[in-house]
Each structure stands twice: as C-alpha cells, then as structure tokens.
Amino acid sequence: MNRERIFFEKYQGTGNDFILIDDRQGHFPSVDSSLVKKLCARHYGVGSDGLILIRKSFHLDFHMDFFNPDGSTSFCGNGSRCAVLFARSLGMFQGEKCKFSAIDGQHEALVLDQEIRVKMRDVGNCVVDGNEIEIFTGSPHFLSFGSTLPVGDIRGSAREIRYSEKYAEKGINVNFVAPDARGIAMRTYERGVEDETLSCGTGVTAAALGAALKYALTSPIHVSTAGGLLKVHFAMSGQSSFRDIWLEGPAIKVFEGSITLSV
C-alpha cells in the first residue's frame, strides 16, 4: 500500500469519533498497526478514537473489525452503531434490521428514526466489590461509583488503575459513575486511546448494568456522557447476569475524504 490513496468516511456517536473504511475487497493491511496509528493520530493523520473496517460476511450482512488508535483490537459499542449506518450506505443491507459479526461474535442492529440500536453480548460474572465493579461488555471495564462525578482531569486517577499491577498487561477501561436526574452520568478513560473520551459505548453499557446492580435501577437506563445521552435496555438473568442487552444512541456521518500516507 505504498502511497496508495485511502478513502474513508468519518462518523461520530455521542462524540466518540471513528474512521470507517470500505474493505469489502480486503486490500487494507489490517495486520499493520502502524498504519492504524498514523490514520488515527489527531495531529498527523485523520484523527479518531478508532478505525473500523467493513468487510464481507458469508452468512451475515457484514463483518466489522475495530482497531483502537494504538492498533489493538476489541469490540466497540459506539463504533458498531456507526458501522451499521455506514454499511447500510454501502448497500450491504436494506431496511431497518441487520446482523453483523465482530471480534466478540454475532450482533443484531435496528435502525430507528434518529438512533441506532445494537444488541450486545450477554453479560455474566460481574465482580462487585463495594463501590467498584468489573464487567466485560465486549471490552473490560472497571466501574467506580460515587455520589458525584469527579471534577477536572481524571487521567491521573484513571491511569493508576489502568496501569496497576492487576491490569497493566491487558489493560482495562476505567469509568467513573454517579447517579443523576435522568439515570446515571459517567466519564470514561479508554485503554488503547489512553485518554478520556467523550463517550464509550461498551463503557456506557457496563455502567448501566453496574447501576442495575448498585442502585437497583430497571431497564431502560439513561446514561449521560460528555458527548451526549445514550440508553441501555436489558433483562436480568440471575443475581449478576444480563441478557437481551441493547445499546441505543445516535450515529452521525461527519465528512468523507481521502488521505495518502507513506507507509
């Protein structure tokens, strides 16, 4: 891909922004994390919280590969909603419903008037320790519950957790959560981005499920992030397990373009 022009579209979901690339022909060298890093770099590339490749699927409407800005892979809740809208614009499905695969398996999605709803994987084995909860929602999340959200820069306190002996090797997303008038509010420090982001879909999902355990809130739970409001629908299937989990929120195309990089 030496100096090949890369065409992309930029989407955002509650301020979580992504580069989306049509890779149905399989030309993108996804094993090259340096290219992902260059494209996601805010000062030297397009700039984003992640990069998404849309690929063909033999059995479903499409496949989504998500890369963090550091080149690592995971599932992304906000990114998957953007991927659904992008895939429909490519003609990979029509109507309101679709099915797609990602690193953590198969998902369903529903395109509503103003928002996209994505079905998450079932969640179990939540680890509750007082005001702290660990939940895996496609990505690992550490939740710290308080009466109010922290004010100011959270990077220092978040990195103490993310780079602690327990989590340093594989990393973990760190979320600060507090109740608010509509449900809960939260701030997230994302591994792979290694910074606070305006929103995190898997983090929002984790926070909502954690709030169901912590505050006995019922579905749906409204979650306020710095980038906007999302909603999580779910059903409990045990003392600390959940099923039928849907993440609902906006997905918006920001612009499209091309970039040529020496790689």
- Residue among 185, 189, 250 nearest 221 (CA): 185
What secondary structure does DSSP assign to 177-197, as a single string?
Answer: EEE-SSEEEEEEEETTTTEEE
Domain 5-120+251-260 and domain 127-247, same fold? Reply is yes
Interval 134-183: pLDDT, tens? 999 999 999 999 999 999 999 999 999 999 999 999 999 999 999 999 99
Q: What is the structure's pLDDT at 75?
A: 96
Give me the pLDDT at residue 263, please: 53
Residue 126 a catalytic site member: no
- Residue 149, Cβ density class (10 Å: 0-12 exposed, 13-18 middle, ≥19 buried): middle
pLDDT of residue 88: 97
Catalytic residue among 82, 98, 126, 200: 200
pLDDT value at position 28? 87
Please report the pLDDT score of residue 55 as a whole number: 97
> For residue 3, what pLDDT is reported?
60
Residue segments in the chain with a per-residue pLDDT below the cut of 50? 1
User: Of the listed 76, 82, 98, 126, which one is catalytic?
Assistant: 76
CA angle 30, 249, 202 (to 5 degrees): 50
Q: What gap in Å lies between CA 49 and CA 14, rounded to an integer?
A: 12
pLDDT at residue 20, rounded to an integer: 98
Q: What is the three-class DSSP state of 104?
A: coil
Question: Which tokens hold the place of 226?
Answer: 């710095």
Closest CA to 185 of 196, 177, 174: 177
* pTM, full prediction: 0.95
The highest-level CATH class for domain 127-247 is: alpha beta
* Residue 105, helix vs strand vs coil: strand
Q: Which CATH architecture has domain 5-120+251-260?
A: Roll (3.10)
Alpha carbons 69 and 87: distance in angstroms, whole number: 21
* Cβ-Cβ contacts under 8 Å for 61 (sequence gap 6 or more): 87, 92, 93, 98, 99, 100
CB 104 within 8 A of CB 238: no
Q: In sequence order, what are the residues at sequence separation of 6 or more whose Cβ sits closer than 8 angstroms to the Cβ of residue 169?
A: none
DSSP annotation of 202: H
pLDDT, tens digit (0-9, with 9 covering 90-100), for 72-94: 999 999 999 999 999 999 999 99
Residue ranges of domains in the chain: 5-120+251-260, 127-247
Neighbours of 87 (CB within 10 A): 25
Q: Rounded to an integer, what distance in angstroms lies between the CA atom of residue 10 and that of residue 21?
A: 9
Q: Judge whether 82 counts as a catalytic residue.
A: no
Q: Are 199 and 13 in contact (CB under 8 A)?
A: yes
